[in-house]
Chains A and B, each alone.
Chain A
């Protein structure tokens, strides 16, 4: 069973050290009393499965399979297909995600064999393990720097904002990621502190450079059962969202491309702290290995994509991916595009580690209305980590450490010093700093932001958004579409200005 951790090595979260210009959220003292958290979405049993995934470095959640039945299969036919699994299949172990069934069969020792058995049933269209994708943010340096958003100049944003200053609140952008904290709250979590469990107040804060009036109530698909509140304990989702909707012209922090858009944070990925908290809650002593930085279960991502589409999101950003071809992703993307949502997807950070195809990005190439996005450094050359392949459709700034710290992508995000699992036992998630990062994770939201601006200007069809972004991209590399840059670097001004009669 192949296992991949490369995305996490590249994607080893957030900026280690931050630099300059702290955008601090409300300070909560360690002694401050907190409130009890809502119930966790993951049961102790499922948590154990997750812990096993980390321990064994798996690319899927043990005992979980996603099944799609052929059209017209009723409950009896479905039950017949599921009867090939060991033991009883109580309803509590079945969870429908649209037309996809998430099946939990903890008694099954080999999930791939379990999926194969199900897939062989005549009632089943496909079945595969509940794979873990990774956020696709690359390692960032520790050096402190001054804020420089060269990436916006690279795509002609200043001139584009003259045409369309930040889009419109009538446009909704969903960011499916590690979340973006929506509650300035302190929760009492039981945590392992080295020798015992302690219930400690853990503070959370909202990024002060987000306009809270534009944040729609988000949803948590991995941590809290109730789906709320959405809390980012990684910083990835906050950084990605910042590129799209960070408040602009507010004399604070940094800018975002479509800063007037409404923003729907959907938490489908988790990191070290979510696992540590749930593990401690379940009285499992010890620390999760710091190298295990979490992931994005296919089930959660698929559910989030469908949820975003059902909530009327016009644009969805997916800065995540994995190496497993998952038809459920394809179905979910088709569902979302079919409901009018444009989807931007990071193309992957694996170029120097085998350049394996990344999913769901690979599905974007054959779907008008979804685009896979490669990353560039500040010389408009492909970043060293950015995947190449026939599925790369477009390029955007993603940062490149090899071109120096000035070539990174800066947005406000959580202070890594507050949550670094190598040094922190009691984290806090209420302080925000200017955070440098790189990765196709950073490139994708540039395309999502541009799509949001296009929507506010009247290009409502996802396929038309894709066509416009391609048409006005600046050709890079070999002439025409190529596997490094796709159709080239996005040009926000040219795209928003569109076509005249003669030119």
Chain B
């Protein structure tokens, strides 16, 4: 459902941009990034880390009107860990394997400002994060599969390195409140943020 909504938004924006259609560009990008999850203590308790690396891919429609762009990007991160009990700040691992899947789908609009080989950009939008948590010995209703939507802010710079190819860096900040914190260790640590900050290197190809 959320994919259909996002596709509709993309088409709507493209539709509004019809007069300038002849000038728009398409930019495909992929980033290898490191995401620091906002619910640090919760992720560290279960997985031993609050950072995860992976690839985010997306498509940007540029020059919708002057420097305006529309971007859609998606990623998938998997973390392995085990269920725990927390008491007085001590985490006791219980040896029950747990897999967490964290999948953001971002849609944003922003402004690109080409200056020679450099094109800095910044945008704002929304992110929908699909969160799945599954563990051994689960009964019906034990595993978690939820989605939550929140704010996305991004910025970066593309550096043209060869014809249509650019290399750059990007930061994505996602804030998705209320998705956690009602159970599990996230409740104990009082952390309700499903978002985080991703910093990565991105390769983009445009035409």
Contacts and interface: CB of A to CB of B under 8 A. Distances in A.
A497 interface: yes
Interface centre among A163, A498, A500 (most CB of B within 10 A): A500
Interface in A153-192: 159, 162-163
B139 interface: yes
Contact of A458 (B81, B95, B179): B95
Chain A interface size, as a band, is 20 to 34
Interface stretch (A53-61, A74-82, A137-145, A463-471): A463-471
B88 A500 contact: no
Interface in A434-481: 457-461, 463-464, 467-468, 471
B84 A461 contact: no
Chain B interface size, as a band, is 35 or more
Interface in B86-112: 86-88, 90, 92-96, 98, 100
A498 B85 contact: yes
B92 A458 contact: yes
Contacts of B96: 163, 497-498
A491 to B, nearest CB: 12
B19 interface: no
Interface centre among A162, A458, A501 (most CB of B within 10 A): A501
Interface in B137-181: 137, 139, 142, 144, 146, 179-180
B95 to A, nearest CB: 6
A460 B98 CA distance: 21
Given A463-B87, A467-B87, A468-B87, A458 B93 contact: yes
B132 to A, nearest CB: 10
Contact of B88 (A459, A464, A498, A501): A464
A172 to B, nearest CB: 19
B204 interface: no
B144 A499 contact: no
B137 A502 contact: no
B56 interface: no
Contacts of A503: 133, 142, 144, 183-184
B128 interface: no
Interface string A389-417: 00000000000000000000000000000
A263 B87 CA distance: 27
A497 B87 CA distance: 15
B34 to A, nearest CB: 19
Nearest to A163: B137
Contacts of B45: 501
The 7 closest A-B pairs by CB, nearest first: A464-B87, A503-B183, A498-B94, A498-B83, A498-B85, A459-B92, A467-B87
Interface of A: 159, 162-163, 457-461, 463-464, 467-468, 471, 496-503
Given A497-B94, A501-B81, A502-B180, 11 more contacts: A459-B94, A496-B94, A499-B184, A499-B188, A500-B46, A500-B83, A501-B98, A501-B180, A501-B184, A502-B183, A503-B144
